[in-house]
Amino acid sequence: MLTTACGPAVKPAGDDAVVCPSGLPDDSGCPLSAASYKDEIQPIVDAYCGGCHYAGNRNSSQVLETYDELHQSLSLVEKQVYHCEMPPSGETPLPAPDRTKLLQWLVCGAPNN
């Protein structure tokens, strides 16, 4: 059951605090730098978001199983990934390269490529 994993992100205080990198990737290389949704972004979303963000999950109203579903939530996804709110505390965090790749794709207009 995934009830605790799909709640709001809570970051520990003190020395155990999660350090969230600041700044969005540069958009000067768009669209050349935009990752492939099918080959690069979808596997990241499936691996780090799919455990909660699927159809029928009562603990999450955001479904991110397809490009269209992700596209409907782009601003929320960007905000939550940028502020390190997703994946939530207690879940495996996005590795820095995957976080950067996802944010770069979002900054470049989230193409369905």
Predicted confidence (pLDDT) per residue in 75-100, tens digit: 999 999 999 999 998 888 999 999 98
State whether the Cα torsion 19-90-74-43 is positive or negative: positive
- Please give the full DSSP string across 28-76, using - where no structure is assigned: TTTTTTPPPIIIIIHHHHHHHTTTTSSTT-TT-S---SSHHHHHHTHHH
What CA–CA distance (Å, rounded) separates 37 from 74? 13
Those residues of the chain that have pLDDT short of 70 are 1-19, 31, 33
What CA–CA distance (Å, rounded) separates 16 from 6? 21
